[in-house]
Amino acid sequence: MSEQRDPGGKPGGRRNAKGRQRPERVHGGRERSAQRPSERNRGGDPQRLAAYTVLRAVADGAYANLELPKVLRDRGIHGRDAAFTTELVYGAIRMHGLYDPVIAVAAGRPVAKIDPNVLDTLRLGVHQLLAMRVPTHAAVDETVGLARKVNGAGAAGFVNAVMRRVSERDLDAWLAEVVPTGELTARLAVEQSHPEWIVKALRAALLGHGAATPDTVDTELTTLVRSDNDPAKVTLVARPGLATVRELVEAGATPAPLSPVGAVLEGGDPGGIPAVREGRAAVQDEGSQLLALALARVPVEAEGTEQWLDLCAGPGGKAGLLAALALEAGADLTANEVSEHRTELVRQTLRPASKRARDEGRSLVVRTGDGRRVGEDEPGRYHRVLVDAPCTGLGALRRRPEARWRRIPADLADLGRLQRELLASAIDATAQGGVIAYATCSPHLAETTFVVGDVTKRRSDVELIDARAMLSGADGAPVAVPGPGPTVQLWPHLHGTDGMFLALLRKLA
């Protein structure tokens, strides 16, 4: 959980020289306003109102990472105020697996019996009380003000009572109250706010990928699920031949710890960097960069121009890097995507590379199509094929706050079928001696080693190669990956990347 100060404070209150809100009275160590909540701050402040709006949109199916920037832009919320709103939104969504039991105790009723609109207001308030450095009086008063505006006067009284009860204890005391005793997975599910099936799946994945032993798994699992609640750093990729890491460093970033084409932006808007604005560089997780680089590094002998294929390319992050690498290598790239909308996003991403491809007489094709048909339609045509398969995204939970609550175990069955079909099609589409990279942003065994094992055991025209040997860090040294190989699993708590999986397969006769 991160700490973020309240930038706004209470409208109309006394302020110190730095513009900070001054408490009217200090009461038993807690700051309290002299007015009753019903008389104070009747409207809620713009940041909390914006956060509430995003939470309601997410409840209706929106994605926080898409909705929040829109709301911030529409309401003219910038700088520290935008950072405060972001922390409210991400924290309240991520952590409601912990906050809901707290709210239930404080309200004296299960959260299922609380109006969902009011519950979202309370989640925002509880996040301020238990995880942010917002003074108690401001957290209570502003949440009551927000409730009055968006939930009505009756609800505001209830919100006031619940907030006051929550504010009577600190985080440790609430953890002692609501975290169950017993199995670690059940404890972590509440303490670190994850559905328990995900905690169990991550435990199995740590063991199955060789990142933990039965002796170390409890410690590794605790660190891993904690890291899902830490905001991911903004990592940039300098697409080779179009931008350089140096250019990004000169714009304020620092070289990334792992990826030779990566840079970390500690603060500020990536869109303010010319290379990013022009599509020569982009925001991209370091793990994704390492995977695309690994596929490009595998030795392949091809007659004529190498043909590269990104089978599931939307929205185009890896295709953007692969296109730049293909141009550097004198290869052609086809980027395929089943959804028309996402194909358009790939097209936009590849615009700078497409221009260069045209200038150099290279082919860079972006098209819409079902990847499951490509093997049959274009057998043996490609020399390097990426299958960045649709998956549960359990390795990227820190980026998508609502994802953990949307996924259900049943998703694995449908995804597993699609993943197997896409991988089989990719193998069919690969020329003899060519290489296939199967990747997911999930470490779940059912989407990673089980898929690769099932597909490879049914066919004799493919063999696994050591993906670890193709993973080279910023200094040229191998990236340390736990486990016996030949597949690679990256971990947020070990590598600071998304939890990306990579298997490399060589096509035989």
Ligand X SMILES: C[S@@+](CC[C@H](N)C(=O)[O-])C[C@H]1O[C@@H](n2cnc3c(N)ncnc32)[C@H](O)[C@@H]1O
The annotation status of 316 as a binding-site residue, yes or no, is yes
The annotation status of 238 as a binding-site residue, yes or no, is no
Binding mask 384-423 for ligand X (x = CB under 6 A): ----x-x---------------------------x-----
Give the number of residues in contact with ligand X, rule: CB under 6 A.
19
Q: Is 318 in the site for ligand X (CB under 6 A)?
A: yes
CB of residue 372 to ligand X, shortest distance in Å: 5
Among 163-171, 247-255, 266-274, 364-372, which window interacts with ligand X (CB under 6 A)?
A: 364-372
Is residue 203 within 8 Å of residue 192, measured between CB atoms? no
The annotation status of 81 as a binding-site residue, yes or no, is no
| Residue placing its CB nearer to ligand X in the complex, 212 or 312 | 312
Is residue 243 within 8 Å of residue 207, measured between CB atoms? no
Among 71-79, 182-190, 312-320, 406-414, which window interacts with ligand X (CB under 6 A)?
A: 312-320
| 166/186 Cα distance (integer angstroms) | 23
Distance of CA 508 to the CA centre of its chain: 36
| 348/327 Cα distance (integer angstroms) | 17
Binding mask 260-289 for ligand X (x = CB under 6 A): ----------------------------x-
Q: Is 337 in the site for ligand X (CB under 6 A)?
A: yes
Q: Is 316 in the site for ligand X (CB under 6 A)?
A: yes
Q: Is 371 in the site for ligand X (CB under 6 A)?
A: yes
Q: 83 in helix, strand or coil?
A: helix
| 432/428 Cα distance (integer angstroms) | 10
The annotation status of 478 as a binding-site residue, yes or no, is no
Catalytic residue among 89, 243, 441, 445: 441
Phi, psi torsion values for 31, nearest 5 degrees: -85, 130
Q: Is 348 in the site for ligand X (CB under 6 A)?
A: no
Mind giving me the DSSP string for 238-285?
E-TTT--HHHHHHTT-EE-SS-TTEEEE-SS-GGGSHHHHTTSEEE--
Q: 336 in helix, strand or coil?
A: strand
Mind giving me the DSSP string for 346-406?
HHHHTHHHHHHHHHHT--EEEEE--HHHHHHHSTT-EEEEEEE-----TT-TTT-TTHHHH
| Residue placing its CB nearer to ligand X in the complex, 10 or 398 | 398
Q: Is 315 in the site for ligand X (CB under 6 A)?
A: yes
Q: What is the DSSP letter of 228?
A: T
Q: Is 447 in the site for ligand X (CB under 6 A)?
A: no
Is residue 392 within 8 Å of residue 359, measured between CB atoms? no
Site for ligand X in 466-495 (CB under 6 A): none
Nearest to 114 by CA among 100, 96, 128, 93: 100
Q: Is 496 in the site for ligand X (CB under 6 A)?
A: no
The annotation status of 453 as a binding-site residue, yes or no, is no
Site for ligand X in 35-94 (CB under 6 A): none
The annotation status of 312 as a binding-site residue, yes or no, is yes
CB of residue 346 to ligand X, shortest distance in Å: 8
Binding mask 243-262 for ligand X (x = CB under 6 A): --------------------
DSSP helix, strand, coil percent of the chain (3-state; round to 5) = 50, 15, 35
Nearest to 254 by CA among 286, 293, 288, 290: 286
- 391 classed as catalytic: no
Residues catalogued as catalytic? 441
Positions touching ligand X (CB under 6 A) are: 288, 312-318, 336-339, 342, 370-372, 388, 390, 418
Give the annotated binding-site residues for S-adenosyl-L-methionine.
Answer: 312-318, 337, 370, 388
